[in-house]
Amino acid sequence: MTVKLYAFTCGTVTGEFGRLMEGGEGDITLPVPVFLIEHPKGQALFDTGLHPDCRRDPAGRLGARLAGLFRIGFQPGEEVSERLEAIDRDPSKIDLVINSHFHFDHVGGNALINNATLLVQRREWDAGMDPDTAARRGFNPRDFDLGHKLRLVDGEHDVFGDGSVVCLPTYGHTPGHQSLRVRHDGGEVVLAADACYFCRTLRERRLPRYVDDRQGMLASLDRLEAQERGGARTRSRSPSAVTRKSGPLSSALIKVPTLIFSI
């Protein structure tokens, strides 16, 4: 069996560090990561990045509040569809879009992946479909309620049925946030998404200023730490490109699609 995992950056967001981690000072720029998993049974994206309108008219797409909180860096060619085409992959042939959660920098590119089935935690979908909850959590249904076929899951889910790609419930950041574990001959990597922005989030339990469920997020960090103790590497959203044997694998600002591993 051959499984390939590619990582690429689909823009950046810049905002107040203290919103994203307790004790953070000044501003910080984070990559908007997207991952492509190629499995014998299909191709899956983990998150899809920003919508193209975020480059042309951020306030019009996100609203004045979000556009004021986050400055968008999004160049031509950084859309998920363009990233795929750069490595000769057809966006129309992606089988699955696995969304970690429904914030704008994770689901904006869903509109560019028309033929995929959307795989998401049921509780995230339910939150997104409730107008009051969606408004409180910063969800915009036009990012994700686009008519894709749905695969709604409850808790841990084996995507391809062989243990190589598994959704891990990491609730707390949002009602139904999920991370993704990918297993290969050399070990495992956990794509944490926004369950863990930084190494210090995991090491020191420094949470974002605003979360859906603080205790739930702390429990999710415990789960990610347990995955690490079991040998998995955790890929966070840190802009650092440093990889430490004793710490998680941080997400670099990847300017071109990068093959992480092939097994």
CATH numbers and ranges of domains, the chain: 4-262 (3.60.15.10)
Strands 165-169 and 157-158: antiparallel
pLDDT band at 261 (very low <50, low <70, confident <90, very high): very low
Say whether pLDDT at 51 is over 80: yes
- Is the Cβ–Cβ distance between 207 and 218 less than 8 Å? yes
Considering the chain, what is the average pLDDT of its residues?
A: 89
The reported pLDDT for the residue numbered 232 is 83
List the alpha helices (DSSP H) in the chain: 17-20, 53-56, 58-62, 64-69, 80-86, 104-107, 122-129, 131-137, 199-204, 214-229
Q: What is the pLDDT of residues 111-161, one digit of tens each?
A: 999 999 999 999 999 999 999 999 999 999 999 999 999 999 999 999 999
Calculate mean pLDDT across residues 231-252.
48
Determine the number of helices (DSSP H) and then strands (DSSP E) in the chain: 10, 13
DSSP state of 190: E
Stretch 84-101: mean pLDDT, rounded?
Answer: 97
Calculate the alpha carbon distances from 95 to 91, 151, 199 in Å: 9, 12, 32
Model pLDDT, residue 250: 34
Which pLDDT belongs to residue 105?
Answer: 97
**Which pLDDT value is given to residue 239?**
59
Name the nearest CA neighbour of 110 among 138, 144, 147. 144
